[in-house]
Structure 1
Amino acid sequence: MTAEANPVPATSGTERAEDDLTPYGGVVADAAWRDEVLRLAEQHNAVILAHNYQLPEIQEIAHHVGDSLGLSRIAAECDADTIVFCGVHFMAETAKMLAPEKRVIIPDARAGCSLADSITAAELREWKAEHPGAVVVSYVNTTAEVKAETDICCTSSNAVEVVESIPADREVLFCPDQFLGAHVKRETGRQNMHIWAGECHVHAGINGPELADQAAANPDADLFVHPECGCATSALYLAGEGIVPEERVRILSTGGMLDAARETGARSVLVATEIGMLHQLRKAAPEIDFRAVNERASCRYMKMITPAALLRALREGADEVHVDPEVAARGRESVRRMIAIGRPGGGE
């Protein structure tokens, strides 16, 4: 383990400087690093949570790995005093909302999210004013302020169920992901559903032509496609045209991908989501050849949680996440309504 090199000043969430996102570096994830991280976690009664898209070395040292909502539940239910959330900023906010009495830190608060940033609370309020009486359904991949303006949150695994729970005569405002919204509209057939034009820049970049090319080159492979992906419609087209057998095409959340990996009889699987997911899939089913549809689909913000950043967080208690209590209370209600409709499965 080497000393941390030239740390850059941290900012919070969407206030980060887009031209100054150099990750914390200078630390090797060796045995000495692992021992020190675990020692500090025990010293501070801290639990380390890592999202499925994190670097493999971060996933391997975490006490729990999963999707953001599942990890936030662990944060709320565990006995730790401090939650170290290795993910992007909105995820740490959600953990703080569900566990307001605990200290929540993110190893680098500059780790934002293009999808969460694609709608603000002010924009949502303006949209609601244009559609009085509409029910707002927001993906959990949103800021605390947006959740506070939301009627019901959803995950990618239960978004259809959430929208189906709303009376048919009520308009629905779905935000912020346009691809997940299109998937829900297609599945429900709901015509009075308005969809915000937001996207995850990584998932949007996984396109239909490259999925079709990969499927043609790997005719026996299953397709695991995240509904945030720009290629989700193309995957369903391939199935509908018989180019790929329908049973081989699966539109799945990250948790759903892990369940499917353990159940599939396929020898190879093409995966359309952020490439960090491959680490957990290969651990879940090592006998299967998992390949990324787009090997460049790496989120720069997720990868800002480096070994150096995690060590810094535990040594310095940085960066602590705060959510206004009133905002947190209102946002918590939108999450609780989602859970009341039906326990969300694999999360986002």
Structure 2
Amino acid sequence: MEDLKQKITALKKEKNTVILAHYYQDPEIQEIADYVGDSLGLSQEAEKTDADIILFAGVHFMAETAKLLNPQKKVILPDLKAGCSLADSCPPDAFKEFTKAHSDHIVITYVNCSAEIKAMSDLVCTSSNAEKIVNSVPENVPVIFAPDKNLGNYINSKTGRKMVLWDGSCIVHEAFSIDKLRTLYKEHPDTVIITHPESEAHILKTASYIGSTAGMINYVKQSAKQKFIVATEAGILFKMQQEVPDKALIPAPSVEDNTCACSECAYMKLNTLQKVYDCLVNESPEITVSEEVAKKALIPIKRMLKLSK
């Protein structure tokens, strides 16, 4: 594995490639990345990179967003099958009919969706900036929020809005067991529960902090507490533990009895270090977006990035 890391490091310099990785990637991929972050941070990095090639260690919609921001650059993804259950829950044809039925509504979409969905949107948001993006729309203007109903419900509760929500969700963030979480907390009553807003409402109610992956890491760094139960995809624990080596981090338990007793995204785990190397050698699989879709989808993304500065 160390030999493979060295080869990747040398090859990315030779090919003027930047490797962007999400927090949910395997540790060995995070270690060779030039930048590790959440969806907002990755979008911002993709927008400003001067690399010729962007290798996106994440899932398809993330690499697609990087391509939208860099139409002249080559964007590659280690495994094209690295999709997203949340993005898949919002098919373009069905969403088009949904927006037609609410034609007077502003459409805000969570970045976890396809380019086709973004092309039907007025604004895009991430979990880091969703509340800010929603609040940028006047209160008297009705809003459709898609595709994550859990994030949408959370933002409704924070803002007092009554956004119309698309019925989509992330299987990873809906996999947490409330009964196991309560039992775990009883065993560790000195812990603080933190969670991602894609989680269901009954999980959110247990949390002392709700935020994006980057927000959760910052919270743990700044907190005076020493033990945390972390309710998001378990891949975040690698970077989080690096930031707080002296603190105890416990993954929130999932309903499924699996080897890690935590919630993992099977799509994120499709990318491997070997696939990263092969992808870099072959400069494929390459991400492409039609010019027509790209032109429309870029508008709400640019609006989001402007509002996020």
Which interval holds the TM-score relative to the shorter structure? over 0.9
Find the counterpart in structure 2 of residue 118 from structure 1: 89
Matched, 1:80 2:39: no
Find the counterpart in structure 1 of residue 131 from structure 2: 160
Distance in structure 2 (CA, Å) of the matches to 1:151 and 1:307: 37
Find the counterpart in structure 2 of residue 308 from structure 1: 274
What is the deviation of 1:201? 0.6
TM-score of the superposed pair, with normalisation by structure 1:
0.84
Amino acid at match of 2:265: C
Q: How does 1:191-270 map to 2 (within 5 A)?
A: 191=162, 193-230=163-200, 232-236=201-205, 238=206, 249-270=208-229
Distance in structure 2 (CA, Å) of the matches to 1:73 and 1:64: 11
Cα separation, partners in 2 of 1:165 and 1:207, compared to 1, 3 Å: farther
What is the deviation of 1:82? 0.3
Which string of whole-angstrom CA distances, capped at 9 and with x for unpartnered residues, describes residues 213-246 of structure 1? Answer: 222222111111000012x43442x47xxxxxxx
Cα separation, partners in 2 of 1:146 and 1:87, compared to 1, 3 Å: same
Distance in structure 1 (CA, Å) of the matches to 2:203 and 2:273: 37
Find the counterpart in structure 1 of residue 19 from structure 2: 48
Distance in structure 2 (CA, Å) of the matches to 1:81 and 1:134: 39
Find the counterpart in structure 2 of residue 276 from structure 1: 235
Q: Where in structure 2 are there 5+ consecutive unaligned residues?
A: 254-260
Distance in structure 2 (CA, Å) of the matches to 1:256 and 1:198: 23
1:290 to 249, 252, 265: 249
Tell me, yes or no, if the aligned pair for 2:57 and 2:78 is still in contact at 8 Å. Answer: yes
Q: How does 1:172-191 map to 2 (within 5 A)?
A: 172-191=143-162
Tell me, yes or no, if the aligned pair for 1:73 and 1:98 is still in contact at 8 Å. Answer: no
Distance in structure 2 (CA, Å) of the matches to 1:330 and 1:213: 48
Distance in structure 1 (CA, Å) of the matches to 2:141 and 2:43: 30
Matched, 1:90 2:61: yes
SS of equivalent to 2:138: coil
- Which one is further off, 145-154 or 60-69? 60-69
Amino acid at match of 1:279: F
Amino acid at match of 2:239: Q
SS of equivalent to 1:204: coil
What is the deviation of 1:157? 2.0
Amino acid at match of 1:324: S
How much is the aligned-residue C-alpha RMSD, in angstroms? 1.4
Identity %: 41
Q: Where in structure 1 are there 5+ consecutive unaligned residues?
A: 1-28, 240-248, 344-348
Cα separation, partners in 2 of 1:287 and 1:189, compared to 1, 3 Å: same
2:31 to 36, 44, 60: 60
Distance in structure 1 (CA, Å) of the matches to 2:113 and 2:137: 21
Distance in structure 2 (CA, Å) of the matches to 1:164 and 1:341: 11
What is the deviation of 1:329? 2.0
- Which one is further off, 35-44 or 158-167? 158-167
What is the deviation of 1:318? 1.3
Distance in structure 2 (CA, Å) of the matches to 1:47 and 1:174: 32
Which string of whole-angstrom CA distances, capped at 9 and with x for unpartnered residues, describes residues 101-157 of structure 1? Answer: 111000111111000111022222101111111011100111111101011111112
Give the count of matched residue pairs.
302
Distance in structure 1 (CA, Å) of the matches to 2:67 and 2:106: 25
What is the deviation of 1:69? 2.9
Cα separation, partners in 2 of 1:286 and 1:138, compared to 1, 3 Å: same
TM-score of the superposed pair, with normalisation by structure 2:
0.94
Amino acid at match of 2:202: T
Which string of whole-angstrom CA distances, capped at 9 and with x for unpartnered residues, describes residues 85-116 of structure 1? Answer: 00000000000011111110001111110001
Amino acid at match of 1:233: H
Distance in structure 1 (CA, Å) of the matches to 2:19 and 2:88: 25
Amino acid at match of 1:104: V
SS of equivalent to 2:172: helix
What is the deviation of 1:197? 1.1
Tell me, yes or no, if the aligned pair for 1:107 and 1:310 is still in contact at 8 Å. Answer: yes
Find the counterpart in structure 2 of residue 147 from structure 1: 118
Tell me, yes or no, if the aligned pair for 1:199 and 1:228 is still in contact at 8 Å. Answer: yes
SS of equivalent to 1:173: strand
Find the counterpart in structure 2 of residue 333 from structure 1: 299
Amino acid at match of 1:250: Y
Distance in structure 2 (CA, Å) of the matches to 1:54 and 1:342: 25
